[in-house]
Structure 1
Amino acid sequence: MDNELFICQVYVDDIIFGSTNEEYCKGFGKMLCRLRSDTTVTSSQPSLNYKASPKVSQEGTFIYQEKYTRDLLKRSKMDDCKSIETPMATNTKLDPDESGIKVDQTFYRSMIGSLPYLCASRLDIMFSVCLCARFQADPRESHLTVVKRIIGYLKHTPSIGLWYPKDFAGCRVERKSTSGVATC
């Protein structure tokens, strides 16, 4: 259990659970099914990657979602898009843009709906994604342009992730671990 990693993310009515131990994933899925009769457990290729070489595992764990990012680029037909170095321009001001050109709501929602899952390991896009998500009811071309920029940024940075350092009894007073993390 020393080198095992557990990730759980809840987004609206979806739960993503992952672990480096496949048995824990299966057990968690069975537990959810017992709790709710309408629960469906699906398993696909892992979208959460885990790096822990012998040296790294002594120091901590790095999680990232490169495969999911590359799949997202393909699904949104943006795998040939220009790479962009920032998820949003510093002078971007999004508003309802009622006089702007409307875009297909289903298309916009499908693009923006794939991004919150990346926020589990990509806190650098969270602000931009949440800002764009506000305009799902009536998306305009200006909103879609920002979503496409976020995806262009993901193309530029597909393997960015989170580093969780190992911490055994980091608190010198109580000798408790201080490495617990919750991301929202």
Structure 2
Amino acid sequence: MKQFGYKQSNSDHTLFLKRVKDRITCIIIYVDDMIITGNDEEEIADLKLFREFEKDLGNLKYFLGIEVLRSQQGIFIHQRKYILDLLAETGMLDCKPAETPIVANHGLQIIEGEKPADKEQYQKMVGKLIYLSHTRPDIAYAVGVVSRFMHLPQVQHMTAVMRILRYLKGTHSIGIYFDKNAHPDLIAYTDADWAGDRDGRKSTSGYFTLVGGNLVTWRSKKQKVVALSSAEAEFRGIAKGIAEILWIWKLMNELG
């Protein structure tokens, strides 16, 4: 890519950028798959002639399990096929849907003497749910909770994973819509619970960010240290949100 005049982004090492006056071409690379976009139509046309690249598959419709739908108003991304394949693989295709991905005040923890679950199956299912949360912020918290027990899954934890699958059964067509808005405003929201993890009494931070009114990133993650107060837990959550804002701001500057 550097040989053809592209510069690797400092914000995302899979992103390569090329500027010609006020025009820009952006390429995201994952092994031998790439997404090409930008406003330099001449450069994009030349790219297709590079003998290093096998073929042009046209407008982006499917990428690493993520489906892309376009309209004049915006872009919709989802993982419907990925979800249906997951439900079929786990025998949950005909299950009764659940209204929420996790019960309120679930109190999940490791209980001494509790019956263990199949560790290999549990890790495989949770791993697939983690990838699915790339387009499903509504399951991010629930997936974050069940991923805490990968080293020692028990029956209660497997039941929680099955509830997420039952929730997905009723919401398999949900995804994220990116609208064409004129403003590039960057907004973030953060939150944290206090000592919500029953095993280690650690808190959980959560944030999501919007660019131009569109949801672009989100995360729910257990904090690394025990917060001594709810205020400390909130401030740690805010710090995570601010770090995300700074990263997006830097990326937007690189994109111009």
Where structure 2 has 5 or more consecutive residues not aligned to the other structure, the ranges are 1-25, 38-43, 54-61, 186-210, 220-256
Where structure 1 has 5 or more consecutive residues not aligned to the other structure, the ranges are 1-5, 9-13, 32-43, 172-176
Instruction: Give the TM-score taking structure 1 as reference length.
Output: 0.68
Shift of 1:178: 3.3
Q: Quick check: 1:166–1:179 contact (8 Å CA) kept in 2?
A: no
Shift of 1:62: 1.2
Shift of 1:167: 2.4
CA distance in 2, matches of 1:109, 1:170: 39
Instruction: Give the TM-score taking structure 2 as reference length.
Output: 0.50
1:140-178 Cα offsets, whole Å, 9 max, x none, are 00000000000000001001111111123446xxxxx83
Per the alignment, residue 212 of structure 2 pairs with: 178
Residues 18 and 120 of structure 1, relative CA distance in 2, 3 Å threshold: farther
Per the alignment, residue 138 of structure 1 pairs with: 152
Choose between structure 1 and 2 for higher RCO, CA contacts under 8 A separated by at least 6 residues. Answer: 1
Per the alignment, residue 67 of structure 2 pairs with: 49
2:94 aligns with one of 73, 80, 83: 80
CA distance in 1, matches of 2:149, 2:104: 19
CA distance in 2, matches of 1:84, 1:164: 27
CA distance in 1, matches of 2:213, 2:138: 20
Residues 114 and 85 of structure 1, relative CA distance in 2, 3 Å threshold: same
Shift of 1:87: 0.3
Residues 116 and 18 of structure 1, relative CA distance in 2, 3 Å threshold: farther
Per the alignment, residue 135 of structure 2 pairs with: 121
CA distance in 2, matches of 1:155, 1:92: 21
Shift of 1:96: 1.0
Shift of 1:66: 0.3
Shift of 1:86: 0.7
Q: Does 1:105 align with 2:140?
A: no
RMSD of aligned residue pairs (Cα, Å)? 3.2
| AA at the equivalent of 2:212 | T
| AA at the equivalent of 1:160 | I
What's the % identity of the aligned pairs? 34
CA distance in 1, matches of 2:65, 2:127: 16
Runs ≥4 residues deviating over 3 A: 17-21, 168-171, 177-180
Structure with the higher fraction of residues in strand conformation: 2
